[in-house]
Amino acid sequence: METIYLCIVVFLFVLAIFDLMVGVSNDAVNFLQSAVGAKAAPFKTILIIAAAGVFIGASLSNGMMDIARHGIYQPEYFYFAEVMTILLAVMLTDVVLLDLFNTLGLPTSTTVSMVFELLGGTFALALVKTWTDSSLELGQLINTDKALQVIMGIFVSVAIAFFFGMLVQWITRLLFSFNYKQHEKWGIALFGGIAATSIIYFMLIKGLKDSSFMTPEYKAWIQQNTLTLVGAFLIFFTLLMQILYWCRVNIFKVVVLMGTFALALAFAGNDLVNFIGVPLAGYSSYMDYMANGTGAGVDGFLMTSLTQSARTPWIFLFGAGVIMVYALATSKKAQHVIKTSVDLARQDEGEENFGSTPLARALVRVSLNLSNGLGKIVPQRTLRWIDSRFRKDEIILANGAAFDLVRASVNLVLAGLLIAVGTSLKLPLSTTYVTFMVAMGSSLADRAWGRDSAVFRITGVLSVISGWFITAGAAFTICFFVTLIVHYGGSTAIIILISLVVIMLVRSQVMYKQRKAKEKGDETFQLLMKSDNNQEILDLLRQLTAKQWSSVMDFVQENYERIIRSFFKENLRGLRRSKGSVKFEKQLVKQMKRTGTLALCRLNNRTILEKGLYFSQGNDFTGELVYSVGRLCEPCLEHVDNNFNPLDATQQEEFRDVSEDILYLLQSCRQRVESGSYQGMEEELKKANSLNMQLSHLNRQELQRIQSQSVSIKVSMVYLSMIQETQNILNYTINLMKVSRKLQE
């Protein structure tokens, strides 16, 4: 029996390694977003600074908050086997859940996931224990106060961080404007002093408060002399920043890199428990059981020892720091999560990753009405002065940066200050929530959310926020059922669940690579938007349209075949799948048209006049192709869903022959658009004319059948719709190929 639990402990540490990898991928956005978005330094330099902060924070951390030992469950009421069941379920759930969010590119809270996983697993076994032992109550077994604090922390941190991010950035922009080099002569030293002091205060109060060298005496001394320390730091750093300014050092870059180091240090020092706290609790439980509980057995030894605070061996902290640094330097998913936050906060327009929702549209409408109302109250002279501080054409932006150094500095300093203040007030603020919402508030104050992009940005913010709450619900629910399965299923259930987790992680990696392969068009678009050379822009635009248009044609070919095959076989599931695909593809076409127009505007006037018409026509044809597939699918789906009579054998045979030729032609046209090779295109044109004549002949035949009343009207109606939409698909495909040739020439 002891061997099984030793294997569980080993597996918990294996999962901890994966958890560290995916956890760092998720939380890297907290301390890298501002520096990466503003291009404060080369990416490798930013990574080195962040890695130093992560490693130092992990090595100096106590490695475990007591939440993993007795923060949620009361260990004196749980036996060794029950505690190990909860801890195993938590780790199985945590790895899969965090990997899922990273794959989707959405930042979430590792603290919330761990707390609610512990709560879900504890609740499951608490129900079992109270059911079998009437002397126990749920209140004795579960510590709900911590979970409630986390929930309140979500609401408080989201609202406060967004508001102060917006307010402080607005005031800072009024002081420095977008052309900050013209207005930094007198105020930059004080700004740098305040920022650096805030960062040091943040490191002392939040980043190092639980470090292994911080004795109670040190903590008490810092607390008693906080004001004196802050005043001394303010004077020292203000003078230092003035000297650096005279030496022509960019103070904003110094502040951004200092803030990056401080947030990375605090993340590793305080959030390490989210990754290795549970395995270390399992390790401590196993060692205690082997030393004192073998006589009582796994189902008779109570884990009272977990009520005591733990002391983590330094080797675990050192190893965790090494793994976190490795994950930070190599994780592609970390860069994907960072990209989501940076894109939502960027200053200029570009490809929007999120769509539009009714709530986002309503919020934009209310904001516009409020802005118009304030514009009538505030004097026009004041409004003109404010507008002069927000002239985007004066912005000092590094090549490829999403926003400037002023906003990056505000993001880091304010996030650090809010987290430090929340910690001193004993509020369970999350670094994820605070850093993300400060960035969103500052981007709104910077007028980065224009009327053409606000609805998409707000949708993105709402999607991320909803993901945080989904994390809590999913963590609780999944861990609840996993705990019950492990409790009742024993060793067999453990082996099956471990196998499932491994399969899911492998599948996640495969799907992520496939999705990244499909996003190569995005990379082309980014290169296009950064280029200033007209010929290079035109070449990149040709590459982009070839990928996008061939992708739409591939969609048409695949779904046309599926619809015809599913309709003939009365396969309702296949038709519904195509209907869902059409809905999704319509959104992609809308996005494609928008990004294409942005790209087209980068060309000079002469090139736009020469190629703009072909580009617009091509996008229109892709939209019509998708809508034609939708119009083909709807009557077929309705017909099969209502269990109407199928096409008779004659209709199926004659249409099957034509549809096979059409599929071959669609494939040939797609290959030409994708490759850009149009020699011998006349063969496709002749074939299209021939197929059009065949379809017209089928149409006349069916009308004659209707006239002779030899077929069902319902069957004939859907058959005529199929013929008509097939002709539309054929014609739009040929037109798209012609336009593509003219654009590529």
**Structural domain boundaries in the chain:** 2-518, 521-744
C-alpha distances in Å from residue 139, one per residue of 76, 122, 305: 13, 12, 20
CA distance 40 to 172: 18
Distant-in-sequence, close-in-space partners of 167: CB < 8 Å, separation ≥ 6: 441, 445
Q: Please report the pLDDT score of residue 521 as a whole number.
A: 46
User: Residue 328 in contact with residue 24, Cβ under 8 Å?
Assistant: yes
Q: Please report the pLDDT score of residue 345 as a whole number.
A: 54
Q: Between the CA atoms of 82, 87, 90 and 94, what dihedral angle is there, to the nearest 10 degrees?
A: -170
Q: What is the mean pLDDT of residues 72-99?
A: 86
Q: Please report the pLDDT score of residue 336 as a whole number.
A: 57
CA distance 429 to 151: 10
Q: Please report the pLDDT score of residue 213 as a whole number.
A: 61
Neighbours of 512 (CB within 10 A): 18
C-alpha distances in Å from residue 421, one per residue of 107, 256, 285, 416, 424: 23, 20, 35, 9, 5
DSSP state of 390: T
Range with the lowest mean pLDDT among 315-324, 455-464, 578-587?
A: 455-464
More confident residue, 209 or 13: 13
First and final CA of the chain: distance in angstroms? Answer: 74
Q: What is the mean pLDDT of residues 566-576?
A: 92
Q: Please report the pLDDT score of residue 208 as a whole number.
A: 59
For residue 454, the one-letter residue type is: A
Q: Please report the pLDDT score of residue 369 as a whole number.
A: 78
CA distance 390 to 506: 48
Range with the lowest mean pLDDT among 219-228, 304-313, 314-323, 708-717?
A: 304-313
For residue 254, the one-letter residue type is: V
Of 524, 688, 567, 556, the residue nearest 622 (C-alpha):
556
User: Residue 661 in contact with residue 729, Cβ under 8 Å?
Assistant: no
Please say if the pLDDT value at position 339 is more than 80: no
Q: Please report the pLDDT score of residue 349 as a whole number.
A: 54
More confident residue, 102 or 303: 303
Q: What is the mean pLDDT of residues 382-400?
A: 80
More confident residue, 530 or 176: 176
Tokens coding 586: 């319509």
Tokens coding 731: 């014609």
Q: Please report the pLDDT score of residue 426 as a whole number.
A: 56
Distant-in-sequence, close-in-space partners of 64: CB < 8 Å, separation ≥ 6: 272, 273, 276, 277, 280, 281, 310, 312
73 beta partners: 142
142 beta partners: 73
Q: Please report the pLDDT score of residue 483 as a whole number.
A: 93
Q: What is the mean pLDDT of residues 76-102?
A: 85
More confident residue, 443 or 699: 699
Q: Classify residue 743 as exposed, middle or buried by CB count within 10 Å of its CB (0-12, 13-18, 19+).
A: buried
The SS3 assignment for 79 reads strand
Please say if the pLDDT value at position 490 is more than 70: yes
User: Residue 462 in contact with residue 158, Cβ under 8 Å?
Assistant: no
Q: What is the mean pLDDT of residues 463-467?
A: 74
More confident residue, 330 or 1: 330
Please say if the pLDDT value at position 64 is more than 50: no
pLDDT digit string, tens, across residues 595-645: 777 778 788 888 888 888 888 888 899 999 999 999 999 999 999 999 988
Please say if the pLDDT value at position 462 is more than 90: no
Q: What is the mean pLDDT of residues 466-483?
A: 86
User: What is the percent of the chain where pLDDT is above 90?
Assistant: 19
Please say if the pLDDT value at position 63 is more than 50: no
Which range of 104-118, 131-145, 570-584 scores highest in mean pLDDT? It is: 570-584
DSSP state of 646: P
Please say if the pLDDT value at position 310 is more than 80: no
CA distance 86 to 122: 6
pLDDT digit string, tens, across residues 575-597: 999 999 998 898 888 888 877 77
The SS3 assignment for 426 reads coil
Q: Domain 521-744: which topology?
A: Methane Monooxygenase Hydroxylase; Chain G, domain 1 (1.20.58)
CA distance 584 to 592: 13
C-alpha distances in Å from residue 534, one per residue of 304, 466, 526, 599, 716: 72, 42, 15, 11, 53
Neighbours of 246 (CB within 10 A): 9
The SS3 assignment for 466 reads helix
Of 570, 593, 548, 582, the residue nearest 729 (C-alpha):
582
pLDDT digit string, tens, across residues 510-545: 766 665 555 544 677 777 777 778 888 888 888 888
Q: Please report the pLDDT score of residue 210 as a whole number.
A: 56
The SS3 assignment for 409 reads helix
Please say if the pLDDT value at position 444 is more than 50: yes
How does residue 403 score in pLDDT terms, banded at 50, 70 and 90?
confident
CA distance 477 to 21: 24
Please say if the pLDDT value at position 558 is more than 80: yes
Residue matched to tokens 């492990």: 486
Q: What is the mean pLDDT of residues 270-276?
A: 72
For residue 37, the one-letter residue type is: G
Tokens coding 681: 């295109």
61 beta partners: 211
Tokens coding 497: 């669940």
CA distance 368 to 359: 14
Q: Please report the pLDDT score of residue 635 as a whole number.
A: 93
Neighbours of 65 (CB within 10 A): 20
Range with the lowest mean pLDDT among 109-113, 384-388, 439-443, 678-682?
A: 109-113
The SS3 assignment for 109 reads coil
Distant-in-sequence, close-in-space partners of 283: CB < 8 Å, separation ≥ 6: 9, 12, 13
